[in-house]
């Protein structure tokens, strides 16, 4: 009966997901009433409006979060999703904020991470409401707006709102995520001084710390003879498979621009991508740059190179629960005077952040690189025998017929921010996912499957 009710909401659900995807809710400049930017606020307004139209009690939490709620009872079951997205990047088959449907697939940034599942949760609750299923707990769909940039939204929610007795976030994989690695995001700085015949005047790449850089560009000022030498070095470069480059020379300005194409991937799985920034570092390491810039490039080359496990930085580690540490150099922004870059590190759940930070700082500072900012999200571990885990396992087994194995991931979700919550869905085992990649998409069939699984999970947790 519940599945049939959800099927009856299909057209309305798809339309609402498309509307949300069409809002380019990348973090922007803070404004009055829009702490994470105007477009992020528009996405929150849209979700609150959908929740209101579906007949739920709604609340805007200081324009940083919000929720739609139904039912009675002293305790709540919470489903947490986020409406902000990472930048779209390039190379899309269909418009990244078009929400187009082609061959039964919805295309667009955020459709999978995490607008589709979040809007889908509202319609799962709508079906429960329409059937007037008797429950002991209220069910609350919480909308976050800053998950991709630090989860300040959930910090504010925790300060002012009720915490759940149980819940899940549909922002990872099935069956159930019971462990999430700790996440460290560092901003680093290196000053340039002096001058020379070959000089970097601009170095830019990446879209976010938690995304493997798909593109990177460096502009070098040099004499005509040096530009020819640089071009020959680039032409001879034998980069990783799936990488590429382009050279543009400007004789009037006396510059040569090198653009490198890599392959994007989520920052928690950097080995699945090709980092364009690190490819460019590899190319630059063969050039006779001015002294301080050469020192910086050689430092990155020797300390990171093309590694994704932190070996040369002295921070490689692993455990039996969550596996190996991962490292992603996500963004870089430099000019003639200095350069800033970010490192996104996911460390095993049984380790302490100091085991990463202490040797990392030492290695970087020895190379003249200063760490100017550190953001930390501690690891998550949920007891496999907990009622929440057992209930979600029961639902997954009943709805899919597959074994409800427990997973540990490198990705960080809202489960780290709010107690009594784990990640549950939306990607099924064996599926290729496009989170943080170009051509992010989600089949309508899988969207509907997810809404049904979430609905049954809500009912079981709220009984």
How much is the average pLDDT of 164-187? 97
* Residue that terminates a domain, selected from 337, 357, 377: 377
**Residue 54 and residue 365: Cα distance in Å, rounded?**
55
Q: Are residues 169 and 90 in the same domain?
A: yes
Q: Are residues 200 and 280 in the same domain?
A: yes
Which pLDDT tens digit goes with each residue over 86-137? 999 889 999 999 999 999 999 999 999 999 999 999 999 999 999 999 999 9
Q: Note the pLDDT of residue 325.
A: 98
Q: Are residues 95 and 168 in the same domain?
A: yes
Q: Are residues 93 and 139 in the same domain?
A: yes
Give the global pTM.
0.85
Q: Are residues 431 and 451 in the same domain?
A: yes
Q: Are residues 274 and 157 in the same domain?
A: no
Q: Are residues 330 and 429 in the same domain?
A: no
Report whether pLDDT(214) > 90.
yes
Which pLDDT tens digit goes with each residue over 142-169? 999 999 988 999 999 999 999 999 999 9
Q: Which of 84, 282, 437, 440 is catalytic?
A: 84
Which pLDDT tens digit goes with each residue over 319-365? 999 999 999 999 999 999 999 999 999 999 999 999 999 999 999 99
Q: Are residues 52 and 158 in the same domain?
A: yes
* Residue that terminates a domain, selected from 357, 377, 397: 377
First to last CA, the chain: 17
Pair of tokens at residue 60: 């805007």
Report whether pLDDT(215) > 90.
yes
- Taking every pair of C-alpha atoms in the chain, what is the biggest distance, in angstroms? 79
**Residue 17 and residue 220: Cα distance in Å, rounded?**
44
At 193 the three-state DSSP class reads coil
Residues ≥6 apart with Cβ < 8 Å to 33: 41, 63
Q: Are residues 91 and 135 in the same domain?
A: yes
How much is the average pLDDT of 279-299? 96
Q: Which of 69, 88, 147, 440 is catalytic?
A: 147
75: domain range?
2-181+380-462
Pair of tokens at residue 5: 């009710």
C-alpha to C-alpha distances, 49 to 31, 45, 58, 162, 186, nearest whole angstrom: 21, 6, 9, 21, 37
Q: Are residues 371 and 384 in the same domain?
A: no
At 147 the three-state DSSP class reads helix
Report whether pLDDT(253) > 90.
yes
Q: Are residues 251 and 342 in the same domain?
A: yes
Q: Are residues 100 and 197 in the same domain?
A: no
- The number of domains in the chain is 2
Residue 147 bears catalytic tag: yes
Residue 173 bears catalytic tag: no
* Residue that terminates a domain, selected from 337, 362, 377: 377
Q: Note the pLDDT of residue 412.
A: 84
Q: Note the pLDDT of residue 194.
A: 85
Which pLDDT tens digit goes with each residue over 388-413? 999 999 999 999 999 999 999 998 89
Give percent above pLDDT 90 in the chain. Answer: 95
Sign of the torsion formed by the C-alpha atoms of 16, 20, 23 and 28: positive
Average pLDDT, the chain: 96
CATH number of residue 282's parent domain:
3.30.70.360
């Amino acid at each position: 009966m519940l599945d049939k009710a959800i099927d009856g909401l299909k057209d309305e659900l798809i339309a609402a997901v498309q509307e949300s995807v069409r809002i380019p809710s990348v973090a922007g400049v803070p404004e009055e009433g829009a702490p994470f930017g105007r477009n992020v606020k528009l996405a929150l307004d849209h979700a609150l409006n959908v929740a209101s139209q579906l007949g739920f009690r709604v609340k805007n939490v200081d324009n940083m979060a919000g929720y739609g709620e139904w039912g009675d009872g002293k305790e709540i079951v919470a489903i947490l999703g986020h409406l902000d997205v990472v930048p779209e990047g390039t190379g899309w088959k269909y418009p990244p904020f078009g929400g187009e449907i082609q061959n039964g697939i919805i295309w667009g940034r955020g459709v999978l991470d995490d607008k589709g599942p979040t809007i889908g949760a509202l319609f799962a609750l709508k079906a429960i409401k329409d059937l007037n299923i008797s429950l002991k707990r209220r069910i609350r769909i919480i909308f976050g707006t800053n998950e991709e940039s630090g989860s300040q939204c959930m910090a504010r929610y925790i300060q002012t709102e009720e915490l759940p007795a149980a819940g899940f976030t549909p922002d990872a994989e099935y069956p159930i995520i019971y462990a999430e690695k700790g996440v460290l995001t560092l901003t680093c700085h290196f000053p340039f001084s002096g001058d020379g015949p070959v000089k970097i005047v601009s170095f830019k790449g990446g879209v976010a710390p938690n995304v493997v850089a798909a593109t990177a560009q460096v502009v070098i000022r040099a004499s005509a003879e040096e530009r020819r030498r640089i071009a020959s070095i680039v032409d001879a470069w034998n980069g990783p498979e799936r990488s590429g480059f382009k050279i543009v020379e400007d004789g009037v300005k006396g510059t040569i621009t090198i653009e490198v194409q890599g392959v994007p991937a989520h920052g928690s799985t950097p080995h699945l991508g090709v980092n364009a920034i690190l490819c460019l570092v590899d190319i630059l390491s063969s050039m006779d740059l001015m002294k301080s810039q050469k020192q910086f490039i050689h430092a990155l080359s020797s300390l990171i190179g093309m590694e994704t496990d932190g070996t040369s930085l002295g921070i490689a580690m692993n455990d039996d629960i969550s596996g190996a540490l991962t490292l992603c150099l996500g963004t870089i922004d430099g000019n003639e005077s200095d350069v800033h870059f970010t490192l996104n590190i996911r460390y095993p759940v049984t380790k302490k952040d100091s085991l990463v930070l202490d040797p990392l700082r030492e290695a970087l500072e020895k190379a003249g690189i200063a760490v100017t900012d550190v953001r930390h999200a501690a690891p998550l571990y949920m007891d496999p025998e907990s009622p929440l885990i057992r209930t979600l396992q029961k639902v997954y087994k009943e709805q899919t017929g597959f074994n409800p194995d427990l997973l540990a991931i490198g990705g960080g979700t809202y489960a780290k921010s709010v107690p009594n919550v784990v990640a549950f869905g939306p990607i099924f085992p064996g599926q290729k996912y496009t989170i943080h990649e170009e051509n992010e998409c989600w089949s309508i069939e899988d969207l509907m499957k997810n809404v049904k699984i979430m609905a049954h999970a809500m009912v079981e947790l709220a009984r």
